């Protein structure tokens, strides 16, 4: 028996959507209303711990003996299909995972998010990114219909700006049309638009070309600007607060470049700069022309901001109609998440698989492997979305957590990954669950190439779960098998389906945060490093603010700086 097989004692738990039984007891309802909900105190959590500690499950046997497993452990939403039947769960475990949802405040938290309550408690903010893709006809309170009106007005401005650039009527200071747009932002102000631009390159115009700069390393910015004509370049400064150090430094360097190249002073105010922000006052103070500012609302979180004016560079690339299809795809997933039964709810299923592995099987990483080169940036995007959202150690009630939250997200496109780290996935000493993601049809690839690509993906998922026995003369050929994976398929990589895919992972994050009793919408862990960096920038010599190692390194660098 290999180290990843487990035996399980089975329990029947009543009352959840998708299976029969009696209602939840009064105590469970009290837990659901408790802000300081502790998942480890629920009956479902305790049963799941028992499952994980008792022995054996063989997924191949489960697939063979249970003819309805694939059907029941698959979910459809529009043109997206999730098959989670290759996971290390039985029907009994699945029931207890669902029970965990029902014993948690999830239902009330979901309602609170969609109705605009301030669920980001540490910052006292609403979490309304779903409103960015909502329709007036949706079942939304009248107050929020007014907010949709504001969002629509902001999108209208994005449309006006983008059409001028795409048509060649946005003219630089010397009378030449813009051919290159440089998006300067970091985190959510770059990762989402960059992912979508790469994924939807099939829908883009050849001109204007879109470039992304996020890292404060000047080499990246200088290398990009060196290829461009300043007369034909537009800088898009994307920053929610317009105080982000990396973004403002890169923007100032770009402004200096305009002066050096074409003699434009204070170029931030010229037609060569557009700002995207929730703080227009700071953008104006920085020098941006008020007529060149695109706004979005304060309640739009950075890593959930693609759907707002932050998506401007994407709109320039693919056009407003395709961007609206992206929004429509996200909305389709929103409605699915909001209305589908828990046992047939795609974000819930993805979240519960991760909770099972993180909290009970103690698997600490999760691989995301898109079998699509255009989704090359998806693992990086999901790293921020998941780890910045749920990488927390304190509950919503301010208590130190006794259990793990989130895991390390990593990955790369297939088939490249097969010739890099798949050796570890198949024969390594620990288990990393995998999300395989692919488009069934791809008009950008030759049919034979795409056929080979998809067959490779299916083969990897099967090999991970089936494994291979060794022989006496070839023990090195042993594959333990029983390595779990999800498979997410879409008919094709369209703006609509990409919107659904991204929204799927957004809601997965929400489900996990609700069950783990954490605030998924702040990121205080990022702030300490920022403040320490600022202290180092403000001093010319080491001091007692830093540890001895950092002070010594600081002095070493200063001594050798040319």
Catalytic residue among 419, 446, 476, 541: 419
Q: Which residue among 262, 286, 318 closes a domain?
A: 318
Contact between 328 and 315 under an 8 Å Cβ cutoff? The reply is no
**Which pLDDT score, from 0 to 100, does residue 19 have?**
33
Assess whether pLDDT exceeds 90 at residue 54: no
Number of domains, the chain: 3
Same domain, 373 and 453: yes
Q: What percent of the chain has pLDDT over 70?
A: 93
Per-residue pLDDT band for 6 (boundaries 50, 70, 90) equals: very low
Same domain, 215 and 354: no
Same domain, 83 and 220: no
419 is catalytic: yes
Same domain, 342 and 306: no
Same domain, 240 and 311: yes
Same domain, 454 and 542: no
Of the spans 51-65, 112-126, 139-153, 317-331, which averages the highest pLDDT? 317-331
Report if residue 19 sits inside a domain: no
Over range 387-403, report the average pLDDT.
Answer: 95
Over range 501-511, report the average pLDDT.
Answer: 98
Catalytic residue among 46, 227, 265, 530: 530
Same domain, 491 and 412: yes
- Residue ranges making up the domain that contains 551: 525-560
DSSP notation for 428-471:
SSS---EEEEEEEE-TTS-HHHHHHHHHHHHHHHHHHHH-B--B
Question: Of 29-38, 164-173, 259-268, 375-384, which range is least confident?
Answer: 29-38
Report if residue 104 sits inside a domain: yes
SS3 percent helix, strand, coil of the chain, rounded to 5, is 50, 10, 35
Report if residue 4 sits inside a domain: no
List the 293-295 sheet strands across, edge first.
209-213, 180-184, 233-238, 273-277, 293-295
What are 477-489's pLDDT values in tens digits?
999 999 999 999 9
336 is catalytic: no
CATH number, domain with residue 371: 3.40.50.10490
Same domain, 294 and 377: no
Positive or negative, the CA dihedral 92, 94, 95, 99 is positive
Same domain, 91 and 166: no
Question: Of 201-205, 324-328, 396-400, which range is least confident?
Answer: 396-400
Report if residue 2 sits inside a domain: no
159 is catalytic: no
Same domain, 377 and 283: no
**Which pLDDT score, from 0 to 100, does residue 389 have?**
97
Catalytic residue among 51, 388, 450, 496: 388
Q: Name every residue whose Cβ is closer than 8 Å to that of residue 503 and which is 6 or more positions away in sequence.
A: 133, 329, 330, 331, 333, 334, 337
What is the Cα 321 distance to its own chain's centre?
A: 23
Rounded CA separation 377/327 (Å) = 19
Same domain, 339 and 290: no
Same domain, 104 and 206: no
What is the Cα 156 distance to its own chain's centre?
A: 26
Nearest to 236 by CA among 210, 186, 274: 274
**Which pLDDT score, from 0 to 100, does residue 137 have?**
84
Report if residue 7 sits inside a domain: no
Structure tokens at 464: 């991970």
């Amino acid at each position: 028996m290999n180290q990843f097989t487990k035996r399980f004692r089975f329990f029947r738990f009543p009352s959840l959507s998708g299976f029969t039984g009696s209602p939840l007891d009064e105590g469970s309802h009290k837990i659901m209303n408790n802000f300081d909900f502790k998942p480890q105190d629920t009956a479902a959590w305790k049963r799941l711990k028992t499952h994980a500690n008792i022995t054996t499950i063989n997924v191949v046997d489960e697939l063979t003996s249970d003819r309805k497993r694939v059907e029941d452990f698959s979910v459809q939403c529009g043109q997206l299909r999730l098959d989670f039947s290759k996971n290390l769960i039985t029907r009994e475990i699945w029931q207890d995972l669902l029970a965990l949802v029902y014993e948690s405040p999830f239902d009330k938290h979901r309602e609170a998010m969609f109705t605009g309550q301030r669920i980001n408690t540490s910052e006292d903010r609403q979490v309304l990114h779903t409103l960015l893709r909502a329709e007036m006809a949706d079942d939304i309170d009248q107050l929020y219909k007014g907010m949709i009106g504001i969002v629509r007005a902001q999108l209208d401005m994005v449309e006006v700006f983008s059409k001028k650039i795409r048509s060649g009527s946005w003219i630089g200071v010397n009378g030449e049309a813009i051919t290159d747009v440089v998006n300067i932002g970091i985190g959510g102000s770059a990762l989402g638009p960059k992912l979508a631009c790469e994924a939807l390159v099939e829908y883009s115009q050849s001109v204007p070309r879109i470039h992304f700069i996020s890292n404060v390393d000047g080499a990246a910015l200088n290398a990009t600007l060196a290829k461009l004509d300043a007369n034909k370049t537009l800088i898009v400064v994307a920053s929610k607060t317009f105080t982000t150090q990396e973004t403002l430094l890169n923007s100032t360097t770009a402004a200096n470049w305009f002066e050096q190249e074409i003699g434009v002073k204070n170029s931030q105010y010229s037609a060569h700069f557009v700002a995207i922000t929730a703080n227009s006052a700071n953008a104006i103070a920085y020098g941006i022309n008020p007529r060149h500012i695109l706004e979005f609302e304060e309640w739009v979180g950075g890593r959930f901001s693609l759907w707002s004016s932050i998506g401007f560079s994407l709109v320039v690339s693919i056009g407003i109609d395709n961007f609206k299809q992206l929004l429509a795809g996200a909305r389709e997933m929103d409605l699915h998440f909001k209305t589908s039964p828990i046992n047939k709810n795609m974000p819930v299923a993805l979240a519960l698989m991760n909770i099972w592995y993180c909290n009970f099987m103690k698997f600490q990483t999760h691989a995301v492997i898109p079998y699509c080169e255009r989704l090359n940036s998806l693992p990086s995007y999901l790293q921020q979305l998941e780890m910045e959202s749920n990488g927390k150690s304190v509950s919503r009630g301010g208590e130190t957590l006794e259990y793990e939250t989130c895991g390390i997200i990593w990955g790369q496109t297939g088939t490249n990954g097969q010739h890099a780290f798949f050796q570890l996935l198949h024969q390594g000493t620990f288990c990393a669950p995998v999300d395989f993601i692919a488009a069934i049809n791809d008009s950008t690839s030759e049919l034979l190439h795409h056929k080979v690509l998809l067959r490779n993906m299916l083969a990897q998922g099967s090999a991970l779960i089936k494994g291979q026995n060794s022989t006496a003369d070839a023990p090195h050929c042993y594959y333990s098998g029983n390595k779990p994976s999800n498979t997410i398929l879409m008919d094709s990589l369209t703006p609509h389906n990409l919107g659904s895919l991204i929204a799927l992972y957004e809601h997965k994050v929400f489900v996990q945060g609700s069950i783990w009793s954490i605030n998924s919408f702040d990121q205080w862990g990022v702030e300490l490093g920022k403040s320490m960096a600022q202290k180092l920038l403000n001093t010319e010599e080491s001091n007692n603010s830093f540890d001895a190692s950092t002070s010594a390194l600081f002095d070493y660098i200063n001594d050798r700086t040319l």
